[in-house]
């Protein structure tokens, strides 16, 4: 079997990582670079039910010894892994840039280091955890967090390395073993993570990577009754399928799903800052779940805001994601480009106004122009459905109540962005906008101890801090009758 693919000088294994060893499959799938779709990066091992069984078996067998370690002992492994991520951040950034086209500079400076921070943060939180202890009705009581068992983690194709570490870290810190199934459109960085886990000396079977199609190997993983936790980030239709499997086996399940977040701008806001942030929603070609894709501006400042918005949008540069001047990356896959273009074409047919963009940047590439649409009404598809591309909508409102109503008018509720110069309005509207996270006068500032997740069709459960550690644990109340022991 081919041991390694060479991706811009970075060696990446195309095989699964199961029980501390590389494992091949009889069939493969292609991974190509979005920056040049003719560039075949390699053929990746395509897992099936047998592969899933092998991985769950390895995780099940490794679980008792890993769970028996103290939080401090597990933290030592995780800090070594974080060190290795920092040492290899350039290699990880190169491979992920080629695999899914996110800007290499952004990966190297922000997202890959965040991966190291995820492991450090959860390792330390687990060590610092203090059990709840109290006396009641003649008994001494403690709440104990127990490791749950093997956890299946399924991650999306956007920001795959950071999001994988965000989910894997709390599972390992809590004492669970892990089977990671990365998205088939961007599998390479998960394979590099497996190399670093191996180098950090994790016991075989504690961390496993299985590659392939969701309907094949993913389906087998989530239906295995030996799995005790499932954590998923992706689409609503896939979440429904996984949720049914989790329900069948009575397995706790978290889902971080789509978003259709508002960017709500009031007349007392810093208009220039708000317009600049709005134009920034085209970063990564809008392939960000928390993207403020619905721009909603108070009528009295709409004209000034829109002028500044176009000025900032004009500064975007579409091109090679390895180039530091590029601000808008290629989109992940031809299928996704056609999906996004379908939204734009249906908007035209619906009578929505295409204010700018609306076309492919190059017919032979995967870039779509930054597009702004003024919908005919709030029921327009482009307002109500997640597009996950460089397509924003522009609406106006007169009163605060009307603005909040528009912000809350979709089935999603992942996040929201509010711009205002009033402290009272920041508190009032910040509380009124329905979303798992609402930012006021900023965006994407994250405290890793805070809960993260969505409302409505944006998700189920919470990640982040102790919320994630508790999800990956079984809680036990231990009660001992006072004066009954010596």
Active site residues: 256, 289
Which of 142, 145, 112 lies closest to 126, judged by CA?
145
Residue 479: beta bridge partners? 141
Chain-centroid distance, C-alpha 382: 22
Look up residue 463 and give its two tokens: 């990640």
* CA neighbours closer than 13 Å in the CB half-sphere of residue 404: 15
Q: Which residues contact 214 (CB under 8 A, 6 or more apart)?
A: 154, 181, 184, 238
Residue 12: beta bridge partners? 5
Report the C-alpha gap between 408 and 424 in whole angstroms: 20
Q: Tell me whether strands 294-298 and 371-374 are parallel, antiparallel or unpaired.
A: unpaired
Which backbone phi and psi does 391 adopt, to 5 degrees? -130, 115
Report the C-alpha gap between 81 and 131 in whole angstroms: 27
Which of 477, 464, 460 lies closest to 230, judged by CA?
460
């Amino acid at each position: 079997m081919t041991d390694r693919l060479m991706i811009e000088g970075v060696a990446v294994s195309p095989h699964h990582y199961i029980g501390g060893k590389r494992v091949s499959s009889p069939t493969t799938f292609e991974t190509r670079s979005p920056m040049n779709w003719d560039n075949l990066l390699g053929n990746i091992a395509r897992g099936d039910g047998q592969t899933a069984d092998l991985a769950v078996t390895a995780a099940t067998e490794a679980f008792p010894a890993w769970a028996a370690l103290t939080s401090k002992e597990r933290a030592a492994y995780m800090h070594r892994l974080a060190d290795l991520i920092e040492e290899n951040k350039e290699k990880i950034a190169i491979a992920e840039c080629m695999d899914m086209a996110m800007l290499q500079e952004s990966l190297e400076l922000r997202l890959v280091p965040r991966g190291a921070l995820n492991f450090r943060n959860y390792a330390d939180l687990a060590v610092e955890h203090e059990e709840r202890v109290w006396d009641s009705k003649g008994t001494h009581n403690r709440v104990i967090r127990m490791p749950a068992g093997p956890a299946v983690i399924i991650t999306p194709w956007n920001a795959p390395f950071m999001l994988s570490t965000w989910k894997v870290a709390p599972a390992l810190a809590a004492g669970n073993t892990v089977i990671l199934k990365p998205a088939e459109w961007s599998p390479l960085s998960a394979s590099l993570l497996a190399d670093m886990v191996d180098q950090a000396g994790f016991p075989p079977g504690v961390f496993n990577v299985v590659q392939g199609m969701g309907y094949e190997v993913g389906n087998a993983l989530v239906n295995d009754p030996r799995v005790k936790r499932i954590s998923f980030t992706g689409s609503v239709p896939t979440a429904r399928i996984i949720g049914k499997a989790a329900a069948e086996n009575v397995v706790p399940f978290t889902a971080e799903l789509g978003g259709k977040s508002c960017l709500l701008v009031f007349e007392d806001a810093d208009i220039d800052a708000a317009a600049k942030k709005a134009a920034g929603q085209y970063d990564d070609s809008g392939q960000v779940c928390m993207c403020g894709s619905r721009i909603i501006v108070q009528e009295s400042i709409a004209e000034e805001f829109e002028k500044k918005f176009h000025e900032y949008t004009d500064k975007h540069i579409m091109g090679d994601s390895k180039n530091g001047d590029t601000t808008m990356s290629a989109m992940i896959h031809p299928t996704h480009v056609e999906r996004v273009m379908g939204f734009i074409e249906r908007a035209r047919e619906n009578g929505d106004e295409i204010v700018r963009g609306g076309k492919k940047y190059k017919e032979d590439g995967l870039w779509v122009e930054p597009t702004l649409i003024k919908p005919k009404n709030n029921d327009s598809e482009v307002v109500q459905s997640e597009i996950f591309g460089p397509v924003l909508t522009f609406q106006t409102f007169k009163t605060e109540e009307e603005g909040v109503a528009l912000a809350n008018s979709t089935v999603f509720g992942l996040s929201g962005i509010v711009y205002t110069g009033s402290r009272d309005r920041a508190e009032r509207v910040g509380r009124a906008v329905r979303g798992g996270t609402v930012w006021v006068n900023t965006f994407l500032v994250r405290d890793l101890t805070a809960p993260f997740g969505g409302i409505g069709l944006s998700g189920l459960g919470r990640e982040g801090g102790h919320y994630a550690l508790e999800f990956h644990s079984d809680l036990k109340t231990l009660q001992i009758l006072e004066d009954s022991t010596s």
